[in-house]
Structure 1
Amino acid sequence: VFGTALPAIGLIVGALVIMNIMLVAVAERTREIGIRKALGATRGNILSQFLIEAATLSVIGAAIGIAGGIGLAKVVQATTPLPAAVALWSIFAALALGAGVGIVAGVYPASRAARLDPIAALRQE
């Protein structure tokens, strides 16, 4: 039970953190979004910008986690008789999962940013 529940909880918490970070980014950049829309940026442009940012953020987090995992595996291997190896496929799976979680977590903030009215966004301080 704990073998799958704990990682699932970690992914959910990570997704919520990314969503909150992206919501703050949208709130802080409301004027910028309004200017971009006033200059002709489409909803798709705004949506893709924030989805790419969310995916990039989560892939960076996954890469840091992978580096930590590899480092920990090396420490375990050096200090115990236990074999500790990190499969190459698991590295790619972690990066892909990180990107997927980032994209899913970024959908709501990105759609909020894409729906902003440019005039109302430009009025906001």
Structure 2
Amino acid sequence: LDDEHPDVPETAVIGIPHEIKGEVPFAFVVLKESATENQRAVVEEMRHLVATKIAKYAVPDHFLVVKRLPKTRSGKIMRRILRKVAMQDTSNLGDISTLDDPSVVSEIIEAHKRYRSHAAKK
């Protein structure tokens, strides 16, 4: 996805449990600084991109915009952490000693809390 949209340098998509569908995609999206004001529009464009380039069923149910993704020192995205955040299971994140910058985890948790509270108001 990130190579398809000019305002999205990075994405990570994980699966989370869903009562009816079994599992649904949950996308963590990093936006370029210039696109943060148009966040809603970029997410809608991403939804359209996934629906047309992949399939409608592949469109993530959730898009969480974050400043950065949790990566190891070698640059691998730690999807395990993203899955725990998406499932609201952050009490035990496991070994995070290989993270390049552990502060990214609290940033993502806070972004997820804001996302959840905003979604609950709808």
Structure (1 or 2) with the larger CA radius of gyration? 1
Higher relative contact order (CA 8 A, sep 6+): 1
Decide which structure has greater strand share: 2
Decide which structure has greater helix share: 1
TM over 0.5: no
Q: TM-score range by the shorter chain?
A: under 0.3
TM-score (norm 1): 0.27
TM-score (norm 2): 0.27
